Amino acid sequence: MSNIVSNPIIPSGPKPKKFITTERAVVYSVLCICAAFFLFPLYIMVITSLKDLDGIRYGNIFVPTLHPSLGAWNKALFHACTGLYCQGILPGFWNSCKITGPSVIVSIAVASVTGYSLANWPFKFSEGFFTVLLVSSFIPYVVMLYPLVLITRWLGIYSTLPAVILVHTIFGLPILTLLFRNYFSSLPQELFKAARVDGAGYWRIFFQVFAPMSIPIFTVAVILQVTGIWNDFLFGVIYAGPTNYPMTVQLNNIVNSMEGVKEYNVDMAATILTGIVPLSIYFFSGKYFVRGIAAGAVKG
Amino acid sequence: MSVSPTAAKSLSVSIRGLAQSYGALQVLKELDLDIPDGEFLVLLGPSGCGKSTLLNCIAGLLEPTNGQVFIKGKNVTWEEPSKRGIGMVFQSYALYPQMTVERNMSFGLRVSGMNKVEIEQRVKRASEILQLEPLLQRKPMQLSGGQRQRVAIGRALVRDVDVFLFDEPLSNLDAKLRAELRVEIKRLHQRLGNTMIYVTHDQIEAMTLADRIAVMKGGTIQQLADPMTIYSKPINRYVAGFIGSPSMNFIKATLGGTIKAPTVEVSGQKLDVSDYAFAGMAPIGSAIEFGARPEHINILRGKDTKAKGVFDAVVELVEPMGSDTLVWLELGKQKISIRVESSQIMRPGEHVGVQFRVKQASLFDAQSGERL
Amino acid sequence: MSLDRPNPLFRNLSSKIASLPMMLIVLGVFVGGTAWTVLFSFTNIKVLPLFTPSDWMDHYSGLANYQRLFTTDRWMSCPAITKIGTPDWQFSCTGAFPNMVTYAILAITIMISVGFLLAVFMDQKIRLEGMFRTIYLYPFALSFIVTGHVWAWILSPEYGLQAAVRQLGWTSFHFGWIADRQMVMYAIVLAGIWQGSGFVMALMLAGLRGIDDEIWKAAKVDGISTWRTYLQIILPMMKPVMVTTFVIVASAAVRIYDLVLAITDGGPGISSDVPTRYIYQNFSANLGQSLSASTVLLVTMAVLLIPWIRMEFGKKG
């Protein structure tokens, strides 16, 4: 019971709150202004892709057209010219699939097993090997671009699909191995010991005990690799050869093709199409995405 | 230290000259240990004393730097863990999270290619013993800590092994469950009669469970004996201080009298130790430590305080614990604790008399720490 | 029952076999490739690929490539270093390497400040946090090529922002960064910030959320204001996150290529050229030069890693 008689309102229960404080107002305004900045290019991309050429020439970049059409999308997909060919960006989409699929599978398979070896089955020099791996993941890839040209030439696959797959696999390995090694090290070591007492060997522990527990890290690895490889430009341009150019390279060629009038609506449609795969992964994978890209961001 | 093999029973586990070191760091120092069939042996010590390393070497999960491990008379030093005839229970339970209780228990048997009928029988028997039948189809996530640890014990049980290894199995449980499961483990040992090697840092677990306790420190066994011997006749100051809660009082004193009739002098007052069974002797006049457990000291009030061999002390602090009360006293400049009945009311500042039960006390050489 | 000590070569054999492909790749490509690049950066090879030590001896040219590199205007030229030591000193460098440094400094400062502030705002128990997070982070899913083309379109003087504002009546409005040699790098920084700030925000927010709740309770009991707590207590605790973010943003800046390619392709002229573009373009004609530029990038990267190495390995000592 309160003894303060002079105070007409006796504090009791929750403190009354103001509907909105200045502080909250500032916080929300800043967040909204930033959101507008981040959304603005997406808005421009979409409205531009729905315009026709006149709408671009005489209209305003901010203002959506009153007569939206999918003509630019159709052209971007099937007819836009990338230098010599005019087949749109669709072949690039299939090339990107052909490059991404095998690279992701092979790199994750090799890296997960190597990470597991390093974490749980140490051998002589495995610590040293790990250090070299750690250093490797920070080497800027330009340093190895030409050596890899020589290696793929020597293997006789330069300028082909296998070459670009090989290069993506190689560059994904150090960071993925670190990722898996750290994950497997973080699993309780007693689980590994229990499995050994139960008589399970190297592969059985990997497949029956560890792999089923490691779905989160495999998800992170897949996200990291798919977005990374899909978004790559330079390896595609150098190692894939013109017939196998991935989508990013095709997009760049469409935008830079000099024939005729510059069709910004087609460019923007092609740009959106190129971004759709990683964007969908982003929207559907949620929290794993941040972990995935955070892991991959240090990649040389 | 030398270990006398128990002649009557056959040996279950023997360890010869076992050493483990990482570079310059010696975790185990040339250790010998014989464990007779059916014994419950507790390896007790603080973290880093080498007790878990020793257990992992017995299990085959660590390769020793030197020495041999025999199980049932067979040299298994280089044998795979699964072929040693051991089952192991871990602190973190180490259950396979994606498998049901039943599959957790049967995993090892399935790996070894045992036929299904036999597997089923064994799982059934183990789950009966541990009262796990209603939980067989659950995943570890859906179990409480105590249930998980019972499953982990079950996993060792189905293997039908000679030796059970426990690596701090109760440390992750809360106090109540720990006490319950402790009883369950003891009951299990009485029922099965297997050899069990149990690692813990908890002296209560060690005292209650063990046939013999090996107190370890710095990669060596300090004392290997039955719990009561360890408690009442600790071989050195370290063991004395480690066992018992609240811990033993160590009072600085000097050895006086003659070799034939030694006395102990505590803060200028003589203490008659003719009742004490000396195990060794130090030169007269040397510094010693007089060890007395809180429950082995009497408190006297009123006229008794002036009697011979009674020391004057001042009550400093009183800790009532329900079943009894712990009284902290100042004896000269040294602090000691005494366990008294909870009906005795003491007030801080009160002068009381303190009488040591010399027969139950321990004397240690102040320098070497060895028992006298 | 095996009483023979197992041959150490065959211990953990599966593990060794399974690690073999990776070992070969690490040694052959990462160690071997880097060594080859560094070694042959001291030779005057032009196009023909050479491997053997005798090739190297035959073409050894000492530091000639490096000398030429730092006297080439395309890589780096600093004509206007004046009044050094006086208050109004001037300093301006042009070329691929200084462009990269400009980009790195601006991107690191702006992204870390914006990212931290956004994270603090996001940490105020706001409604719709998930929506804001999604909006801030989606650009990071897009490739630099996509980012670059969008911003090239927005910043294009003919049809983009400048034209639009002029159309609205402000006819003297000028916003032609990508056509302006002095300003073009800022246009690239703008696009880079749009792409990466949300990601930095996510890292910082994770860092903020990782801080023990009791720190906040203690500060509240001590009567320290929210903003003061952030600045004087939380910010110093965020040092590891800051260092990680710095290394991530800095290493991305060193590699910058696709973004420039899509926005300006190094133009106008070569005013927005960057090291990777320079290196790639010299592969065909002037390999030794290209390799020496790669080596310079390697060294730059090593220098940028120092704060991280100190944090990771310093604490153990």
The answer to the question of residue B70 being in a domain is yes
Residues B99 and B30 reside in one and the same domain: yes
Contact B78 C1 (CB under 8 A): no
The answer to the question of residue A286 being in a domain is yes
Single out the residue in B184, B207, B242 at which a domain terminates: B242
Residues B144 and B260 reside in one and the same domain: no
pLDDT band with cut points at 50, 70 and 90 for residue A166:
very high
Residues B128 and B36 reside in one and the same domain: yes
Contact A190 B111 (CB under 8 A): no
Residues B66 and B211 reside in one and the same domain: yes
B108 vs chain A: nearest CA distance in angstroms? 4
C-alpha closest to that of C155 among C233, C268, C49: C268
DSSP states along B122-152: HHHHHHHHTT-GGGTTS-GGGS-HHHHHHHH
CA atoms lying within 13 Å on the CB side of residue B221: 23
Residues A196 and A132 reside in one and the same domain: yes
- Output the pTM of the full model: 0.86
Single out the residue in B200, B215, B242 at which a domain terminates: B242
| Element holding B16 (H helix, E strand) | strand B11-22
Write out chain A residues lying below 8 Å of B159, CB-based.
Answer: 198
Q: What pLDDT, on the 0 to 100 scale, is given for residue B6?
A: 43
Residues A58 and A114 reside in one and the same domain: no
Q: Which long-range contacts (CB under 8 A, 24 or more apart) does A37-45 make?
A: A37/C194, A38/C135, A38/C136, A38/C138, A38/C139, A38/C194, A38/C198, A39/C135, A40/C154, A41/C139, A41/C150, A41/C151, A41/C154, A41/C194, A42/C138, A44/A268, A44/C150, A44/C153, A44/C154, A45/A268, A45/A271, A45/A272, A45/C150
Single out the residue in A69, A102, A129 at which a domain terminates: A69
Domain ranges of chain C: 96-314
pLDDT single digits (tens) B17-46? 999 988 888 899 989 999 999 999 999 999
Interface check C115 vs A, CB under 8 A: no
Residue B275 CB contacts under 8 Å (≥ 6 apart), including other chains: B358, B359
Amino acid at C40: F
Residues A28 and A136 reside in one and the same domain: no
Contact C4 B79 (CB under 8 A): no
The answer to the question of residue B5 being in a domain is no
Q: What is the mean pLDDT of chain C?
A: 86
Q: Which chains touch A (3 or more CB pairs under 8 A)?
A: B, C
pLDDT single digits (tens) A11-21? 787 777 777 78
Closest Cα in chain A to B99: A209
Write out chain A residues lying below 8 Å of C178, CB-based.
Answer: none
The pair phi, psi for residue A43, each rounded to 5°, is -60, -50
B345: three-class secondary structure by DSSP: coil
Q: What pLDDT, on the 0 to 100 scale, is given for residue B5?
A: 41
Average pLDDT over residues C253-266: 92
Which positions 32-91 of A are in contact with C (Cβ < 8 Å)? 34-35, 37-42, 44-45, 48, 56-57, 60-62
Nearest Cβ partner of A267 from C149, C247, C251? Answer: C149
pLDDT greater than 60 at residue C309: yes
Cα B75 to Cα A26, A80, A184, A265: the distances in Å are 75, 76, 33, 79
The rounded distance, in Å, linking the Cα atoms of C139 and A44 is 14
The rounded distance, in Å, linking the Cα atoms of A254 and A251 is 5
Contact C144 A233 (CB under 8 A): yes
Residues A98 and A59 reside in one and the same domain: no
Residues A62 and A29 reside in one and the same domain: yes
Structure tokens at C278: 């320079």
Residues A41 and A131 reside in one and the same domain: no
Q: What pLDDT, on the 0 to 100 scale, is given for residue A300?
A: 46
Single out the residue in B242, B277, B293 at which a domain terminates: B242
Write out chain A residues lying below 8 Å of C160, CB-based.
Answer: 61
Average pLDDT over residues A166-176: 93
Q: Give the bridge partners for B17, in sequence order.
A: none
Residues A65 and A169 reside in one and the same domain: no
Q: Which chains touch C (3 or more CB pairs under 8 A)?
A: A, B
Residues B93 and B231 reside in one and the same domain: yes
Average pLDDT over residues B182-211: 93
Interface check A279 vs C, CB under 8 A: yes
Q: What pLDDT, on the 0 to 100 scale, is given for residue A271?
A: 94
Which positions 167-196 of A are in contact with B (Cβ < 8 Å)? 188, 190-191, 193-196
Residues B356 and B323 reside in one and the same domain: yes
pLDDT single digits (tens) A273-287? 999 999 998 888 877
Write out chain B residues lying below 8 Å of C2, CB-based.
Answer: 78-79
Q: What pLDDT, on the 0 to 100 scale, is given for residue C52?
A: 74
Let me know if B111 is exposed, middle or buried by CB neighbors in 10 A (0-12, 13-18, 19+). Answer: middle
B81 vs chain C: nearest CA distance in angstroms? 12
- Structural domains in chain A (count): 2
Contact B82 A209 (CB under 8 A): no
Interface check C241 vs A, CB under 8 A: no
pLDDT single digits (tens) B297-321? 998 887 766 777 788 899 999 999 8
Residues B214 and B144 reside in one and the same domain: yes
A7 vs chain C: nearest CA distance in angstroms? 24
Residues A48 and A195 reside in one and the same domain: no
C311 vs chain B: nearest CA distance in angstroms? 26
pLDDT single digits (tens) B233-253? 999 999 999 998 889 999 998
The answer to the question of residue A194 being in a domain is yes
pLDDT single digits (tens) A81-138? 877 778 889 999 999 999 999 999 999 999 999 999 999 998 888 888 888 888 888 8
Q: What pLDDT, on the 0 to 100 scale, is given for residue A258?
A: 65
Top-confidence residue, A17 or C168: C168
Tell me the CATH number at B58: 3.40.50.300
B185 vs chain A: nearest CA distance in angstroms? 19
The answer to the question of residue B123 being in a domain is yes
Q: What pLDDT, on the 0 to 100 scale, is given for residue C317?
A: 40
Q: What pLDDT, on the 0 to 100 scale, is given for residue C299?
A: 94
Q: What pLDDT, on the 0 to 100 scale, is given for residue A87?
A: 86
The rounded distance, in Å, linking the Cα atoms of C295 and C312 is 25
Let me know if C124 is exposed, middle or buried by CB neighbors in 10 A (0-12, 13-18, 19+). Answer: middle
Q: What pLDDT, on the 0 to 100 scale, is given for residue B213?
A: 95
Structure tokens at B219: 């990669």
Residues A119 and A214 reside in one and the same domain: yes
CB atoms inside a 10 Å sphere around CB A276: 15
C-alpha closest to that of B1 among B210, B184, B220: B220
Q: What pLDDT, on the 0 to 100 scale, is given for residue A3?
A: 53
Residues B105 and B137 reside in one and the same domain: yes
Residues B345 and B268 reside in one and the same domain: yes
- Reading phi first (left if > 0) and then psi (alpha if -120 to 50, else beta), residue C83 is in left
The rounded distance, in Å, linking the Cα atoms of A277 and A289 is 13
Interface check C30 vs A, CB under 8 A: yes
Average pLDDT over residues B195-216: 94
Q: What pLDDT, on the 0 to 100 scale, is given for residue B3?
A: 41
Range of the domain at A33: 22-69
Write out chain C residues lying below 8 Å of B79, CB-based.
Answer: 1-2
Average pLDDT over residues C276-291: 88
pLDDT greater than 60 at residue A233: yes
pLDDT band with cut points at 50, 70 and 90 for residue C49:
low
- B interface with C, Cβ–Cβ < 8 A, is 74-75, 78-79
Interface check C5 vs B, CB under 8 A: yes
Specify the range with the lowest mean pLDDT, choosing from A96-110, C51-65, C201-215: C51-65
pLDDT single digits (tens) B81-131? 988 999 999 999 899 999 999 999 999 999 999 999 999 999 999 999 999
Average pLDDT over residues B251-280: 83
Q: What pLDDT, on the 0 to 100 scale, is given for residue C5?
A: 62
A29: three-class secondary structure by DSSP: helix
pLDDT greater than 90 at residue A246: yes
Q: What is the CATH number of domain C96-314?
A: 1.10.3720.10
Q: Which chains touch B (3 or more CB pairs under 8 A)?
A: A, C
pLDDT band with cut points at 50, 70 and 90 for residue C81:
low
pLDDT greater than 90 at residue C59: no
Residues B23 and B162 reside in one and the same domain: yes
Amino acid at B66: N
Cα C29 to Cα A87, C125, C272: the distances in Å are 36, 48, 31
Task: Return the percent helix, strand and coil in chain B, to nearest 5.
Answer: 30, 35, 35
Nearest Cβ partner of A209 from B88, B96, B159? Answer: B96
**ipTM of model:** 0.87
The answer to the question of residue A77 being in a domain is no
Residues A171 and A281 reside in one and the same domain: yes
Range of the domain at B222: 11-242
Residues B21 and B60 reside in one and the same domain: yes
Q: Is B192 in contact with B161 (CB distance < 8 Å)? A: no
Write a three-state SS string for chain C. Answer: CCCCCCCHHHCCHHHHHHHHHHHHHHHHHHHHHHHHHHHHCCECCCCCCCCCHHHHHHHECCCHHHHHHCCCCCCCECCCCECCCCCCCECCCECHHHHHHHHHHHHHHHHHHHHHHHHHHHCCCCCCHHHHHHHHHHHHHCCHHHHHHHHHHHHCCCCCHHHHHHHCCCCCCCCCHHHCCCCHHHHHHHHHHHHHHHHHHHHHHHHHHCCCHHHHHHHHHCCCCHHHHHHHHHHHHCHHHHHHHHHHHHHHHHCCCHHHHHHCCCCCCCCCCCHHHHHHHHCCCCHHHHHHHHHHHHHHHHHHCHHHHHHHHHCCC
- Structural domains in chain B (count): 2
pLDDT band with cut points at 50, 70 and 90 for residue A6:
low
Residues B277 and B162 reside in one and the same domain: no
C-alpha closest to that of A250 among A5, A80, A37: A80
pLDDT band with cut points at 50, 70 and 90 for residue B7:
very low
The answer to the question of residue A96 being in a domain is yes
C-alpha closest to that of C267 among C74, C72, C71, C70: C74
